[in-house]
Structure 1
Amino acid sequence: MAGASEWRNPTPPRLPRTVEPAELPAHALAANTAREGLAYVAMDMFDGPAAEYAELSGCTVARCSWSAMRLDHLTVADCALDTCDLSNAQLMDSSLSRVELAGCRITGMTVANSAVRDVTVSECRGRQSSFRFSRLRNVRFVNCVLSGADFTQCRFDDVVFEDCELDGAQFSGAKVVRARFRHCVLTGVGGVASLAGATVSETDLASLSGTLAAALGIAVEKG
């Protein structure tokens, strides 16, 4: 079993020393456009309700809304998002690498069939978010609300969930290369058998025991 010292943190964003303040409409993100080295602060950074095949790299994004945006085939690299609203945003077939999301609202966000690598998600609210069919490598979720999140058929390679609420989350068909759950709420998770090979902290077993028993066909009697 892997020791705690072997779990490394995701590589942080490689941000430029200085980022240029974004100006609209010149720096708005639209379909098939690329933006690099910009700081978006409290602005409507998109040109319209969709920005498919767009690229964002070396940027900081603070207090901006991506809510309900259609952002399929989006590429985000070396970016930091702080206190943004990504609720119900759709990122299908996308790529996120060396990205940090801090204090963001990701409720209902869909990052499906995507490559997610070296990403840290901290202090985020993500009820009913979806990462189904995505490949997560060296990803860390810290102190997040992920109740009812969908990780169906995800591949977990060095993925850590720490101090997260995962009650009712779905893991059916997931492939675990290495995953760790530490101080998480795991009550009622679906597809628990697919988490074979994961590391779970001793304190988390209580919330997981009922689901494990049901998955194994074990009847639990009181008293």
Structure 2
Amino acid sequence: MAHSTFSRPVRIKAPTKPTLPSILKPSDAGRDALEEDAMIKGVRYSGVPLIGISAEVFEVDGCQFDSVRFTGSAFERGQFSNTEFETCDFSQVTAHDVSLIRCTVSGSRITGSSWKAGTIRDVRFSGCVAAPAMFRGMKLYAVTFEDCRLMGADFQNAEFHNVRFVNCDLTRAQFANVKAGSIRIENSTLIDVGGAASLKGTTVAGPGSMELALSLAREAGIIFE
């Protein structure tokens, strides 16, 4: 197996799992509306359409969203913590200064969404599609992307600390000007990655190491004949 590093390999901290109440209340449209100044705790949303909503200065803790559509919604200055998202649709969502803390996002669609100036801490994304999605200027701490399609994802100016990509497709993903504190990429596709030089210190294991090397060579103006 090919293995390459730009510097000494680092151990990647796994995300802390969310802590949910043992019993979740079914959502109530009046009581549990995700809106401005909302504070929601211990609620289960199942198949609830939250399409095109707007919410500012909100807090959601210890909740579960199952097959919920957030399509086209706008969130600002809010936080989701200790929350599970299963087969949800975040397509075309805009989120500014919104944080995900101790969450899991599984089998969900994030295509066309834009996340800026927030924090993603102790979060596991598995089987998600974000092709493309924007995470510009986000701060990622102890985050794992596993079996995700991240083609064209934009991580420019983001901060990475204990971030792991496993079996992901990062074709044409953009990493220009990232702060790469500690990143590990395993068995992932890294064809035509942008900003490859900003990934200094990243550990790459698997076939993606050669693909990333070609991206570095291209950025350096090296021509192969």
Q: Do they superpose with TM above 0.5?
A: yes
Q: 1:175 aligns with which of 160, 173, 179?
A: 179
Contact 1:9 1:138 in 2 (8 A): yes
TM normalised by structure 2 equals 0.93
Matched, 1:160 2:176: no
Matched, 1:213 2:217: yes
Query: d(CA) in 2 for partners of 1:199 and 1:216?
Result: 20
Amino acid at match of 1:12: K
| SS state at 1:73 partner | strand
- How far has the Cα of 1:95 moved from its partner? 1.3
Equivalent residue for 2:49? Answer: 44
| SS state at 1:17 partner | coil
Equivalent residue for 2:203? Answer: 199
- How far has the Cα of 1:149 moved from its partner? 0.5
Equivalent residue for 1:129? Answer: 133
Give the structure with the larger strand fraction.
2
* Count of matched residue pairs: 218
Equivalent residue for 1:2? Answer: 9
| Runs of 5+ unmatched residues, structure 1 | none
Pick 1 or 2: higher relative contact order, CA cutoff 8 A, min separation 6. 2
- How far has the Cα of 1:45 moved from its partner? 4.4
Which segments of structure 1 move beyond 6 Å, counting only runs of 4 or more?
Answer: none
Contact 2:35 2:53 in 1 (8 A): no
- How far has the Cα of 1:212 moved from its partner? 1.4
| SS state at 1:99 partner | strand
Matched, 1:18 2:33: no
Contact 1:138 1:157 in 2 (8 A): yes
Q: How many percent identity over aligned positions?
A: 33
Q: 1:188 aligns with which of 185, 192, 200?
A: 192
Contact 1:186 1:207 in 2 (8 A): yes
Contact 2:59 2:79 in 1 (8 A): yes
Q: Alignment RMSD, CA only?
A: 1.3
| SS state at 2:84 partner | strand
Amino acid at match of 1:197: G
Amino acid at match of 2:172: G
CA-to-partner distance for each residue in 1:151-198, whole Å, 9 max, x for gaps?
001110000011111111110000111001111111111111100111
Amino acid at match of 2:166: E
Equivalent residue for 2:95? Answer: 91
| SS state at 2:74 partner | coil
Amino acid at match of 2:122: D
Query: d(CA) in 1 for partners of 2:28 and 2:206?
Result: 50
